[in-house]
Structure 1
Amino acid sequence: MGATRSHRIPRRAAHPALAAAIAAAALALTTACDPVGGLNSAAVAVTTDQVATAALQHQHVDIKWLTCTAHLDNGPRATPSAGSATKDVADVTCDGETKDGRPITVRGTVTQEVEGRCVKGDLTAKVADRTVFRASVLGDCTAPAPTTTRVTPAPGGHPTVTVTVTVTQSFQGK
C-alpha cells in the first residue's frame, strides 16, 4: 500500500490558520484506513511532508513545492505464539524544488508516525547534492495531537489515499 502527499507553497506565505485547518482535514482522511498497531502509508506520507517541510524551512531552504510518498514494507512477521512482533517499516521518498529551481529530496525509512506530530526512523534531506539534514526524529512528538475526525473506510477495502493541498493567499495590506 502506498500513499502520496503533495504540498505546494506559493510565492507568498500561506495563511497559518488555513494551512493548519487543511492539514487537520488531510490527516483526518489518512487515519481512516489506519491499521491497528501498525503504520499507515498515507499518514506517514502526510506527516513526513509536513515535518520535513518545517525542518527544511528551519534550515532556511526556500521551498517551492514538496511531494512525499510512503510505501509499507511488511516483511516477515512473528507468529502470535512467538511473543514478539516485528515493526512495519515505510520507505519514504519526497521530491521537490526550491524557489530558485534546485531539486529537493528526502529519502529514508519511517518506523513510527505519531498522530500527525512526528515521524521516527532514518531520513536524509538534500538540496541539489548538499545534505541539509539527517534525522531519526522529525517533528515534535510531545506536541498536542491535532483535532481529527475519524472516517469509516470503504467496506472490504484498504484504500490508497492521495492528498494534494494547494493554498493561495492574496496580499492583505493597507
Structure 2
Amino acid sequence: MAYTTDEAVTEELDRRKANVRWLTCTASYGDDGGGASPSASEDTVATVDCAGETDDGGEITVTGRITHAVDGACVRGDLTAKVDGKVVFRVDGLGNCDATGAPPVGGPTAGQPGPTTTVTVTRTVWCREDPGCWPQGK
C-alpha cells in the first residue's frame, strides 16, 4: 500500500508541477490509535505517512488513511499533500481503480490465504542471584 501511495502521490504532485525529487511512504495497518485490532466486520484501513523533497528543496509531507488500493493503479481514502506547509491537494482517491484486474492490495487472491498477524513478545528476565539463569553463548 505504501508503494502504491508513493507512486500515485508522486504522479499527482508532478502533474501539479511540484517536481518531486524523492518521496518515501510508510503504511501502518489497523492503526486506530487504541492499539486494538479491527474486527472482522471492519474494513482494513492503513494510515499512511510520506515525506519527501521537491527539486527546488521544498519539504513534501503526505498524510492520510487508505481504505482501498489496487497495486500500482490507485488508492482510495483521505489523503492530504503539502509542500512547504501549503496544502497542494486533499483527495479521496488517486488513480484509476478500474484500470487493472489485479486484486486490491492486502486482499486475498483466488485460492490463496488472506493476511495474518504476527505478534512477537520479547521479555528480559533479570536473575542476578542465580548464576545458572544467565543465557548461554553459542
Q: Which of 19, 33, 38 pairs up with 1:76?
A: 38
Q: Which of 64, 69, 91 pairs up with 1:135?
A: 91
Give the deviation of 1:116 after TM superposition.
Answer: 2.2
Contact 1:115-1:145 within 8 A present in 2 as well: no
- Structure ranking higher on relative contact order (CA contacts 8 Å, 6+ apart): 1
Give the deviation of 1:52 after TM superposition.
Answer: 0.4
The one-letter amino acid of 1:65's match is: W
Structure 1: how far apart are the matches of 2:71 and 2:20? 24
DSSP-derived class of the 2:14 partner: helix
Q: Which of 42, 45, 50 pairs up with 2:7?
A: 50
Q: How does 1:109-120 map to 2 (within 5 A)?
A: 109-120=65-76
**Percent identity (aligned):** 45
Structure 2: how far apart are the matches of 1:66 and 1:140? 21
DSSP-derived class of the 2:5 partner: helix
2:100 pairs with 1:144: yes
Q: Bigger radius of gyration, 1 or 2?
A: 2
DSSP-derived class of the 1:116 partner: coil
Contact 1:117-1:145 within 8 A present in 2 as well: no
Count of residue pairs the alignment pairs up: 102
Give the deviation of 1:103 after TM superposition.
Answer: 0.2
Q: Which of 29, 54, 57 pairs up with 1:98?
A: 54
Q: Which of 65, 68, 87 pairs up with 2:22?
A: 65
Long gaps (5+) in structure 1: 1-43, 79-84, 159-174
The one-letter amino acid of 2:39's match is: R
Q: TM-score, normalised by structure 1?
A: 0.54
Residue 125 of structure 1: aligned partner = 81
Residue 24 of structure 1: aligned partner = none
